[in-house]
Amino acid sequence: MQFRKILYITLLFIFVCIAFLGAQTPDKQKIIIYYFNDEGPTQNYRYYSYIIPDSLSAELKGKIEYEVTVLPVTFKYITSQVADEEKANTISILTSRGKEVSANFCVIGSYKVEKNTINIKTQICNIATGNIVDAAETSEKIGALIYEIIDRITVKINKELQKTIETEKEKIAISPYKNFYSSLKNISLCYTYNFIFFTGDWENLYNDTSMSKIYVGIPVSKIYKSDSAYINKFYFAPTWQLFSTNNRDLEHTYDTYLSIYMGGLSLSYIHTLSPLIDVAITIQPGIAYSDMYIVLVQEGGPFAPYVKENSYDPFLSAELNATFYFYSIGFTGGFNYTRLFYKGNDLIFTGINFGIMYKL
């Protein structure tokens, strides 16, 4: 019980610290600009796919209230003719990827060159709401200076951004909890169910069993601010795990029962395979509380004499997981390895895990 109280107090302390840090940090409007989609009949003007977003980024970065990132992924311009399912899927990808990097908006667009004229269309997606608005459309002769075209588009985009930002400010002005909500953004809550298998000498002592695991994933970027893109890929997570096992299905002289409660702090590196799939490598040190119950006679019933032993021991675990996202919900699965450092004979087990995650 004392171990659990300490764990709960620690989790509460971490949340309060994050909320405080978030409240003290003024938020810039973070914008992702994706490569523009070439809708032309030839490949002759493919270079505009990155020239346009790079030029837009350079213009918007000149404004102090924006933090801009360009990503080499293209999305189709969403017209009224786009099927509802395709539109919903595109918005889901844009919002989930935007939330992952704590972005406020993303910009997508397309262009088409015909008869020596380039037509550029731009849209803005509000990451929080999923709303998409047309920001700018312009047609110019291909010989026109690109920076002049970009300048006109930037003015229109900035106008739409400011309209949306003002609307959002009006909504949150009445809420005294704005800073607290902002500090929780991009934090994930996860539960996994693990099938674990003992190895070594412990394989013959206890039955294989299942383990429950709960953790709260917190981006390292909330604690340590850096311009490095790799910081956004690291998460740390207070973690709590437990399982119980016995030897009833094995040849034995006495019935024994083993319960283990583990608490620790994990560090994960997340690699994005696609807009909907992440792979995470995790390492977790911590402390385990082991409670062993040994019945001294066979078939002795509930009042048979027994011996109880308990101890606190360090442990180390490693995991490899994949997560599939559907909006803010993720379905995860993978493999894990854990070693408890007992005096004399370490307890080692491997596992297969499945779980569900919710990202704030």
Q: Which domains does the chain have, with CATH numbers?
A: 25-173 (3.40.50.10070), 186-359 (2.40.160.20)
pLDDT of residue 1: 47
Distinct helix (H) and strand (E) counts, the chain: 5, 14
Query: H helices of 101-145, where?
Result: none
pLDDT of residue 308: 80
Question: What pLDDT digit, counting tens, does each position of 282-328 carry?
Answer: 999 999 999 887 776 665 555 566 678 888 999 999 999 999 988 77
pLDDT greater at residue 104 or residue 301: 104
pLDDT of residue 165: 72
Distance CA 338, CA 196 (A): 10
Q: b vs e for 214-236, b when ≥16 Cβ sit within 10 Å of the residue's Cβ? A: bbbbbbbbbeeeeeeeeebbebb
Distance CA 340, CA 348 (A): 6
pLDDT of residue 268: 92
pLDDT greater at residue 5 or residue 360: 360
pLDDT of residue 229: 62
pLDDT of residue 98: 84
CB within 8 A of 109, min separation 6: which ones? 34, 36, 37, 52, 53, 77, 120, 121, 122, 123
pLDDT tops 60 at residue 4: no
Distance CA 344, CA 360 (A): 44
Question: What pLDDT digit, counting tens, does each position of 10-34 carry?
Answer: 555 554 454 444 443 445 788 899 9
pLDDT of residue 176: 56
In which band, very low, low, confident or very high, does the pLDDT at 156 lie, cut at 50, 70 and 90? Answer: confident
For residue 136, CA distances in Å to 109, 151, 155, 158, 209 come to 9, 11, 9, 10, 59
Question: What pLDDT digit, counting tens, does each position of 44-61 carry?
Answer: 888 888 888 888 888 887
Cβ(267)–Cβ(233) below 8 Å: no
pLDDT of residue 25: 40
pLDDT of residue 288: 93
Distance CA 330, CA 256 (A): 38
Q: Which of 73-87, 170-184, 188-202 has the lowest mean pLDDT?
A: 170-184
CB within 8 A of 327, min separation 6: which ones? 92, 95, 96
Average pLDDT over residues 155-178: 68
